[in-house]
Structure 1
C-alpha cells in the first residue's frame, strides 16, 4: 500500500529515533527505509505498529487515492456552489479529468454533475455543460440524486436558452425520477432539486405542482435538520400561493424566517414584494413568535 513516508520520517526525527530504533520489535530497518524512501509498506499490521509508536493515526499517514482527492475537491466545489460562487467552483474542478481513472460510479456521477453545473452557471459554456450533464444522466446502473440533479440541470440549461419545449422534457423527467426515488434515501441536497423544479413549474404557471414541490423540500429540510435553502423554498411557496389563492400568510412567514435566519438578501427582496403587492407585516405577532421557546 502507498503511504506518506515523509510524514513518518519527520515524526521519527522529532522523536530522535533512528530507523533501527523505530523498527525495533516491529520489523527490519530495511522495511522502515522502504516506507520513508519509497512510500510503500506491504503489511498493514507493521505500518499500524510503526504509526502507533510514533503517536500517529494510520489514516493520516496513508497516501490519498485519486478518488479520495476527487471526493475532497467535490466537497469544496459543493460548498462554493451553495454560496452561488459557481465561477470559483469551475476553476477548482475543471483541472480534473476522470478519463482512464478507476472511480466508483457514485463519485463519477457526482463529478459529472458539478463539472456540468459549473460550466453552465460559472462560465455559460452551454455545450460543455450539456456534454458532462448528459454523461451523468446516462449512467443508469446506480441511480442516485446526482443523476436526477443532472437531468434537472439540463432542463435549466434549456430554460436559460428559452427553449421551453426541451426544458419541459428534462424537467418532467427529473420530476418523475425524484418522485420514484426512495423517500427515506433522499439526502439534504434534494431540497435544491425540489426548489429548482418548483421554480420551473412556477414559471410555466403550474402553481399547484410548484407548491407541492416546495412542501416536499420543506418537509425534507425538516427531516434532515437543515435550513440551507429553506428561505427560497418558503418564498417560492408564498409566491405561488399568492398567485393561486391570493393569500399572503406564507409571504409573511417567509419574511419572518429570513429575518430570523439572517438572510438579508431575501429579506430585502421580500420587502420590495410587500410594497408591490401592498402586503402589511404584523410586527406584534412576529414579536410573540420570536420570543417563544
Structure 2
C-alpha cells in the first residue's frame, strides 16, 4: 500500500539558523519540550515532530510557523525559502539559478509575488549590475503601496531602491530611500528572530551605500548602530561585515583605529568562515 506523505515539511536548515541566531544549543532548544535527538532529526532530516512539539519550538525560537514549515507538496515554497537564504548570504548567482525555476504566473499569493519581485530586484542589482531593472522589481514589491507597520519586504524593497540609486550615482534619491527604510524600521519590536536578521541587514546595506557615496561619518554611525544591535542580541550575523565596513571607513578617514578594526573584522571573518571577506581584509589592512 502506498503511504501518504505528511502534509507538512519542516525546513531543518532554517530551524538551525534561527536556533543559532538565538545563541542556543540543541539541548537548550529541546529542554522541557522534546529530546536533543528530536532537534537533531529536525535539523538534519527535516523530520516533522508532533504538532504540539512543533508549536512549542516555534514559540521558543520566536518565529512564525510559516518561517520553518511548508506544505510538503508545495515545491515553490521550498524554492523561495532556498532563494531567501542565498540572498541573505549574498550568493546572488545561485539565487538567480534557483529563482529561474519559478514561474511568476504560477504564484497565486500576493506575499509570494512580493517575495519573488524582491529577490529579482536584488539579483538584478548585484548579479546583473542592472540598477534600472532592480528599481522596476523593487517598485513592484511596493505596488500597491504596502502600509502594514511591520512589512519586512516593504522595508527591504525600499532599501533596495536606495541601493539601486546609489549604484546609479543618484545620491539625493539614494538618501531619500535610505531614510525612508530606516524610518520604517524605527521602533520595530524584535519579538521574532527574523526581525533581527532584517535590522542587521538594513544597517549593513545602509552603511555600504554611504561608503559608496563617500560619507564615511555616516558609515560609522550606521555600522555602530548595527554592531550595538548584534552585540545586544548575541548575534554573529553580519558582524564581520559590519566591522569590515568600520575598518574601511576609518582607513578612508585616516583614523589610526582602522588597524584595530581590521583585526576584529578578520577574527570575526574566521569565526563565520567568510574566507573571501578575510582575504579582502588581509589585503586592505596591509596599507592601514
TM-score, normalization by structure 1: 0.63
User: Which has the larger Rg?
Assistant: 1
Alignment match of 2:283 (pick from 268, 272, 277): 272
Partner of 1:156: 163
1:129 counterpart = 2:134: yes
The residue number in structure 2 matching 1:212 is 221
Measure the CA separation in 2 of the matches of 1:118 and 1:162. 19
Q: Trace 1:48-59 onto structure 2 (pairs within 5 A).
A: none
Contact 1:158–1:164 (CA under 8 A) maintained in structure 2: yes
Q: Is the 8 A contact 2:131 2:165 kept in 1?
A: no
CA shift at 1:135, angstroms?
Answer: 1.9
Name the structure, 1 or 2, with higher relative contact order (CA <8 Å, separation 6+): 2
Number of equivalences: 221
Show CA shifts across 1:252-287 (max 9, x none): 22223223443332222222222212xxxxxxxxxx
Structure 1, unaligned runs of 5 or more: 1-8, 13-55, 278-293
Shift of 1:75: 1.4
2:120 to 115, 128, 152: 115
| 1:134–1:150 contact (8 Å) kept in structure 2 | yes
Distance, in Å, in 1 between the alignment partners of 2:256 and 2:205 is 23
Residues 263, 169 of structure 1: alpha-carbon distance in 2 compared, 3 angstrom cutoff: same
RMSD: 3.2
Does the 8 Å CA contact 2:166/2:213 hold for their aligned counterparts? Answer: no
How big is the shift at 1:233? Answer: 0.5
Alignment partners' CA distance in 1, 2:127 and 2:213: 25
Q: Which residue of 2 aligns with 1:233?
A: 242
Task: Indicate the residue corresponding to 2:9 in structure 1.
Answer: none
Segments of structure 2 that go 5 or more residues without pairing to the other structure are 5-47, 52-69
Q: Does the CA-based 8 Å contact 1:145-1:190 persist in structure 2? A: no
Distance 1:274 1:93, change over 3 A: closer
TM-aligned CA deviation for residue 215 of structure 1 = 2.5
SS state at 1:132 partner? helix
Q: Which moved more, 1:220-229 or 1:172-181?
A: 220-229
Aligned equivalent of 2:205 = 196
* 1:167 equivalenced with 2:178 (yes/no): no
